[in-house]
Each structure stands twice: as C-alpha cells, then as structure tokens.
Amino acid sequence: MFEIKLPELGEGISSVEISDVLVNTGDTLKIDDPMIVVETEKASMEIPATSSGIVNKIHVNKGGTISPGDIIISISGDTVKIPEPEKITEDEKTTIEKQDSETIDTATIKKTENLMKTESPSTTSPLGKPVLASPSVRRFARELGCDLKKVNGSGSKGRITQDDVQKYIKARLTEISDQSPALPLTAPGQALDFSKFGDIEIQPLNKIKKITGHRLQQAWQAIPHVTQFDKCDINNLEELRLKWKKDNRDPDIKASLIPFFIKASGFLLDEMPQFNSSLDNSNKNLVLKKYINVGVAVDTAEGLVVPVIKDVNNKSILDIARELTLFSRKARDKQLKPTDMEGGCFTISSLGGIGGSYFTPIINPPEVAILGISRYVKEPKLIDGKLQERLILPFSLSYDHRVLDGVDAARFTTEFGKRLSEFKKLV
C-alpha cells in the first residue's frame, strides 16, 4: 500500500478547495494521470499521480479542502517508494539548535516585516525563556518571519510544533484584519428579492471568480486609478504578422499580435523603470525590479487567469509566442501551476479578439500599471498629404497615480505605439 499526498503548490498556499475528484476505487492509475482538481486563489489545476497502481482508497471528497502533505489516495501494485529523509545525529542536532538559538532574534523575512512590527511589546516572552523547537520548525518560523519566543508550544514539555507557528501567524493576521476597516461587499439593491419580478436561477460563483472579484474590488478601492487612452498605426506590423502566420510551420506557436505587445512592453519597462516597480507594504518605498516579467490575462471556462512570461527582454518574439501558446493551453486544461502565475511586473489584457474600442483595465496589484488592448479598426490617415486606409489599434493604460503621473503615462503610450510600428522582423 502506498499513499499519494498533495505536494507543495506554491509559497503561502496552506490549503485549497477540491472542485472535482477524477478517480474511483479500483481504477488503474499511471504516473501523471490526473487524480483531483483543486482551486487555488489564482487558478484551477489538476493534481497528477506521482506513482502508478490500483486505487484502493480515496481520502478526499469533492467540495472539501486539502493541505500540502494530506493524503489524496492509497494505491497498491506498481508503486514508487519515496526515499527516507536523511537522519540527523544527536550531535548535529545539538549544533544546529545552538546556532538557531543564537540567530532566532534577528532571523526575519522582509515579506512579513510589517506583521512583526505590529507585535505588541506585552506579548514578548520574558528574556531568557527557553525556546524548544526542532531545526525544521525553526527554519519554518524564520521563513515566515516569526519570533518563536512569542509562540506557545503545544508539544511535549512546551515544545513548539509547525502547527503552533501556523496558528500564531493566522491569529496575528486575523487581529490585524479585524482592526482594519471592512470593505463594502454589496452594492445597493443586491438584497432585493428578484423572484417577485419573474423567474430566476441561482448560479454560484466558482472560487476563482469569487477570489478574483474580491482582489479587483480591493485594487479598485486601494489604488488611485487613472487611465490614459491612445491609438497607433499597426499596418506594417499586421503585414509582418500575416507573413509570419503564412510561413509558420510550428504547431506550438500561435501567430498572434500579443507576443509583439509583450516584447514592446518589455522594452519600455527597461527604459522606464518606474513602470517596473511596486510599492512596499508601508507605501513609503518603491521597489524597483531588475527583472522584466509580463503577465497576460487568459480567458478560461473558470474565469480569468494570468500566466507570466519571465525574462521577456532576453527572449525573441518566437520564444515568447511559443511560451504564450503553451501557457494558454495549460490554462484551458487546468494545468497551470501557481509558479506559472507568480513574479509578474506588468500585465496585458487583450480584448482584441472580441471587440470594443477602449476600456479601463483594473491594475493587478502589486503592479503599478496594466495595458488594455482593443480590436484594431480601419481608419483614414493622412500620409504624405494623401489619405490612406490604415489599421489603427486602440489601447488603454491604467496606472497607479501614487507612483506614476500623467506625463509618465503619456510617454509610455506614445513610445508603445512607436515600438509597434518599428518591428521589422521576429526579433
């Protein structure tokens, strides 16, 4: 008998909801066969089997929750054994614990720095209180920026467990959340009994739509949005794309305009570093990023997801197109991983395949700007004293007015249009 457990799904993901169970008792599983579908805050994804065999028992249910390390199924037959972790001798353990005890007071992580600053001095344990915790628990606490002297241990002789650290962090986050003003969750009229006007149907929002809606509401209320509208001539670019499409023999590459938008954005993020930044938690410091990663909103049956193309300035149009095609396929097949959607610096939302002239995209925090692409249209344009019919692309740039101003935005949109007109080849 072998147990297949839920692997780590990404930083900060402690539990996920099970939206579907894809196996039954008695089924024969192969490695990489999907077992369950889970929903994270960003996407719906399938969890594949890591071993082959016959399903003896299913330990989860549709609609339930599961955490990394929890058992999904038990199988028998052709299974793969997981190697035992390397054991630490008592002497090594003593040395590690001594080293950890010397550094525990200063071991904090910047991402939780604000949380630790909110600690009340009265919660600090008396000086010299012994901290009983294993090296793994100490390491876990350091990664969360948690001072173990403030955690009550539930283990033998007051030993602190990983669960104790998690409970402490959750309690502190809850305290801070309770002290903050609540966001309005309903608009006027939502409490009406709509059935008195006619027949209705109740359709629950899936988890992705609920979480996305909450995040967008927070972003709209917390960030002072301003939107700059512009348009540019893409006649030559479209000719290049059509030639590329005709010559393209690679089934893994979709010859769309979006890779050009990504590449042009990458150039500008490098030239205008204020757009490639984020405010820290204090809202007093600007974090300038030395890497350039661009997210692209992808429409799926479950809702919008935003996979991130990493290091775009070091990739060709073809490289970007290939990666974008792969991500789009993975998004539709529920195979995107949380790591595929992390690390974005700037987001592009394209409605060009659907229609519309302009729209105001909502910034994807902690980014400071987002580009909205609309459908191009044919318009007359005066060139060398003669009217010519050209393809004109309308687009919108929403930006965080705490970081950027109108001059910055106008320069960005102007240069973006110029970049699109300058592509001569698939660089």
pLDDT score for 82: 40
Residues of the chain with pLDDT > 90: what percent?
A: 43
Q: For 365, phi and psi rounded to 5 degrees? A: -65, 150
User: Token pair of 247, please?
Assistant: 């010559």
- Are both 134 and 235 inside the same structural domain? no
pLDDT, tens digit, 9 for 90 and up, residues 123-163:
344 444 567 888 788 888 887 778 888 898 888 778 899 88
- Are both 400 and 297 inside the same structural domain? yes
pLDDT score for 97: 46
CATH no. for residue 345?
3.30.559.10
Domain end: 23, 45, 76, which one? 76
pLDDT score for 99: 44
Residue 10's domain spans which residues? 2-76
> Is the residue at 322 inside a domain?
yes
Report for 80-84, 192-196, 408-412: range of highest mean pLDDT:
408-412
Q: Please, is 94 exposed, middle or buried when counting C-beta atoms within 10 Å of its C-beta (0-12, 13-18, 19+)? A: exposed
CATH no. for residue 172?
4.10.320.10
Q: So which residues are the catalytic ones? A: 401
What CA–CA distance (Å, rounded) separates 326 from 321?
A: 9
pLDDT, tens digit, 9 for 90 and up, residues 250-281:
888 999 999 999 999 999 999 999 999 999 98
Residues 374 and 393 sit within 8 Å (Cβ to Cβ): yes
pLDDT score for 427: 62
Per the listing, tokens 């997801």 go with 305
- Are both 130 and 274 inside the same structural domain? no
> Is the residue at 355 inside a domain?
yes
Domain end: 32, 49, 76, which one? 76
199 or 304, greater pLDDT: 199
- Are both 251 and 311 inside the same structural domain? yes
> Is the residue at 185 inside a domain?
no
pLDDT, tens digit, 9 for 90 and up, residues 201-252:
998 888 888 888 888 888 999 999 999 999 999 999 999 999 999 998 888 8
Exposure letters 156-182 (e unless 16+ CB within 10 A, then b): eeeebbeebbbebbeebeeeeeeeeee
CATH no. for residue 47?
2.40.50.100
Identify the weakest region by mean pLDDT among 30-39, 96-105, 165-174, 312-321.
96-105
- Are both 303 and 352 inside the same structural domain? yes
- Are both 242 and 106 inside the same structural domain? no
> Is the residue at 196 inside a domain?
no
> Is the residue at 391 inside a domain?
yes
pLDDT, tens digit, 9 for 90 and up, residues 336-365:
988 999 999 999 999 988 888 899 999 999
Number of domains in the chain: 3
- Are both 45 and 96 inside the same structural domain? no
Say whether pLDDT at 379 is over 70: yes
Domain end: 49, 76, 103, which one? 76
> Is the residue at 84 inside a domain?
no
- Are both 137 and 217 inside the same structural domain? no
- Are both 110 and 69 inside the same structural domain? no
- Are both 264 and 305 inside the same structural domain? yes
> Is the residue at 190 inside a domain?
no
> Is the residue at 359 inside a domain?
yes
Q: 0.75 exceeded by the pTM?
A: no
- Are both 270 and 348 inside the same structural domain? yes
- Are both 66 and 100 inside the same structural domain? no
Q: For 110, phi and psi rounded to 5 degrees? A: -60, -30
